Structure 1
C-alpha cells in the first residue's frame, strides 16, 4: 500500500454548482473530533484507509470505498492504517439536491444514506469522473451541471434509504428542438443548464434525461458536437486555429485539439492543411 507522504487539504468551490465544496485531501496523522457539516459528505478513498464514527459506531473505509455522511450528522475521522489515507469528497447541501429530489418525490426533500461505507466500484468511478470534471478548467458550466445531476441521481437510486425512481420522460419534442436550436445559436457561449431548463420550463434533471433519450447524448455533449461542426467550417475557410477555438467556445487551442482529434481522428491543424491542399 502506498504511504501518504505529506498532509494536505485543498478546497475548491464550484461556482457553477452554487459554490459546492470539493475537497482533495491527504492525511496521515490528522484526527477530526466529533463535528457536523451543513451538507452531506460524499467521498471516495483513493489510497489507504480511514476510520470514522457515524450512526453510533466506528466504520472503516479502505481504498475505492465510498464514504457517506448525511447532513448535520455527527462524525469523526482519522487514519485506519500506518500509511494514512487520501480521498476526494464533495459536501452538497440539501439545496444542491433540489432539482433531483423534486423528480423523485422524496418526502423529506433530501436523500438519506443508511450506509456509512459503500463498496460499489461503478459508483466510485462515476464519482471520480465527477470530481475530475468539477476540477478541470476545460469543463463548461453545462458539462459540470449535467455530470453532477447524472452522477448524484445514480447515487440516490442505488444507495438512498428509499429507492424511489425518477419520473418517466415523455417525447418533449418541442422542448428538445428548442434546446438544440438555442445551443446551435450560442456556440461560443458558456451555457448553463439553468438557462436551458428555464427556456423550456422543465426541471433540469428531467430535461437532461429527456434530451439524452431523444438525441443519444446529454446537452453538453451535443453542444460540443455543434462547436466542432462550426470549427470545421471555420478551419475550411482558413481561420487561424487560436481564433477558431475562441469563436467556437473552447477554452484554448489545446482544448479544441483534444475534442477535435477524438471526434474527427486528426488534429485541427492537419485537417486544415488537408482541406486547403485540395
Structure 2
C-alpha cells in the first residue's frame, strides 16, 4: 500500500495537494469544501452516488460539499493534483459577478469530466502559487470551474482589444490587473476568462511578453541592456535579465553579443 503526499499547501484559503497513490484507497468520506482534482497519470476508480467510474490521465473529478465518495488505486501509480475550495469563496464569486442572484453556493456538475480548459487552469494555478500574478490565476481557475453560467456573459472581442491597445501603449511599466479590467469595462473575473479565451494566456503574462519583445527590438539596435531595463520600467537589472532569459533562453547581454557576432555575415550576404 502506497500513498505519498508530495506537497500540501494553502493559498487564498484554498488547500492544494499533489499526491501519488498505488495499491491504496480513500474509504467513503466527505468534505465541507468543493474538491476538484486533475488526474495527471494512471487510472483511479471512484465511487459516487452508488456508481463506480474510472478517472484516467487528463481527466477531472469534481465533488460538491457534503458529497460522499471513495477512491481506489490499483498497482499502477496514479498522480493527481487537488484543490479544496471553500463554499464561501465560490458563493461570493458567483454573487459578485452576477452568476447567481439567490446568494446560495453553486451546485457543480459532479463526477468525471473531460474538460481540458479546467484541467489546464487547475495545473497552472498549482504550478504558479508563488507567482506575483496569483490573483489572475485564481480567477482563471474559478472562471473555468463556473464556465457554464459564465458562458451567458459578453463574449465580444472589444473588451480584449481595449486591453491590448492599453498594454501596447504602456510598455514602460508593470500594469495591474485592476487597471486592465477597468479599461476593458469588465470585472476582473470576466476579464481574465475572456482574455484567456481569446489570446490563449493570462493578461499580465501577455503584457510582459510585449515588454520583452520591445526589449528585444531595442537590443537589436545595439542599445545597452541596462538602459533598456530602465527604459521599460524593470525595477532592477537582475529582474530584467531573469525575465528575459526565461522567455528567450538567453540573457540580454548574450543576445546582443550573438546579434553582433552574426552581423558581418548578414552584411556580406546582402552585398
TM over 0.5: yes
Structure 2 equivalent of residue 149 of structure 1: 139
| CA–CA distance in structure 2, aligned partners of residues 112 and 248 of structure 1 | 47
Structure 1 equivalent of residue 215 of structure 2: 231
Please tell me whether residue 50 in structure 1 is matched to residue 36 in structure 2: no
| CA–CA distance in structure 2, aligned partners of residues 258 and 173 of structure 1 | 26
Please tell me whether residue 268 in structure 1 is matched to residue 252 in structure 2: yes
Aligned residue pairs: how many? 254
Structure 2 equivalent of residue 87 of structure 1: 80
Query: Please, which of 3, 9, 27 is the counterpart of residue 5 of structure 2?
Result: 9
| CA–CA distance in structure 2, aligned partners of residues 138 and 249 of structure 1 | 21
Please tell me whether residue 204 in structure 1 is matched to residue 196 in structure 2: no
Worse-superposed segment, 83-92 or 129-138? 129-138
Q: RMSD value over aligned CA atoms?
A: 4.4
Aligned-pair distance for 1:168? 1.0
Checking the alignment, whether the CA contact within 8 Å between 1:68 and 1:116 is kept in structure 2 is: yes
| CA–CA distance in structure 2, aligned partners of residues 116 and 212 of structure 1 | 26
Checking the alignment, whether the CA contact within 8 Å between 1:250 and 1:256 is kept in structure 2 is: no
| CA–CA distance in structure 1, aligned partners of residues 121 and 170 of structure 2 | 24
3-state DSSP class of the match of 2:139?
helix
| CA–CA distance in structure 1, aligned partners of residues 160 and 205 of structure 2 | 19
Structure 1 equivalent of residue 17 of structure 2: 23
Query: Please, which of 98, 107, 110 is the counterpart of residue 112 of structure 1?
Result: 107
Larger RCO of the pair (alpha carbons < 8 Å, separation 6+): 1
Checking the alignment, whether the CA contact within 8 Å between 1:13 and 1:19 is kept in structure 2 is: no
| CA–CA distance in structure 2, aligned partners of residues 203 and 83 of structure 1 | 44
Checking the alignment, whether the CA contact within 8 Å between 1:47 and 1:63 is kept in structure 2 is: yes
Aligned-pair distance for 1:129? 5.6
Aligned-pair distance for 1:136? 4.2
Aligned-pair distance for 1:251? 5.7
Please tell me whether residue 257 in structure 1 is matched to residue 245 in structure 2: yes
Question: C-alpha deviations, 1:82-114, integer Å up to 9, x for none?
Answer: 324221122222344343663433756544233
- Provide closer, same or farther for how the CA distance between residues 73 and 250 of structure 1 changes in structure 2, counting only shifts above 3 A: farther
What are the within-5 Å matches in structure 2 for residues 116-131 of structure 1? 116-118=111-113, 120=114, 123-124=115-116, 127-128=119-120, 130-131=122-123
Structure 2 equivalent of residue 186 of structure 1: 173
| CA–CA distance in structure 1, aligned partners of residues 226 and 34 of structure 2 | 47
- Provide closer, same or farther for how the CA distance between residues 178 and 232 of structure 1 changes in structure 2, counting only shifts above 3 A: closer
Aligned-pair distance for 1:228? 0.6
- Provide closer, same or farther for how the CA distance between residues 33 and 249 of structure 1 changes in structure 2, counting only shifts above 3 A: farther
3-state DSSP class of the match of 1:105?
coil
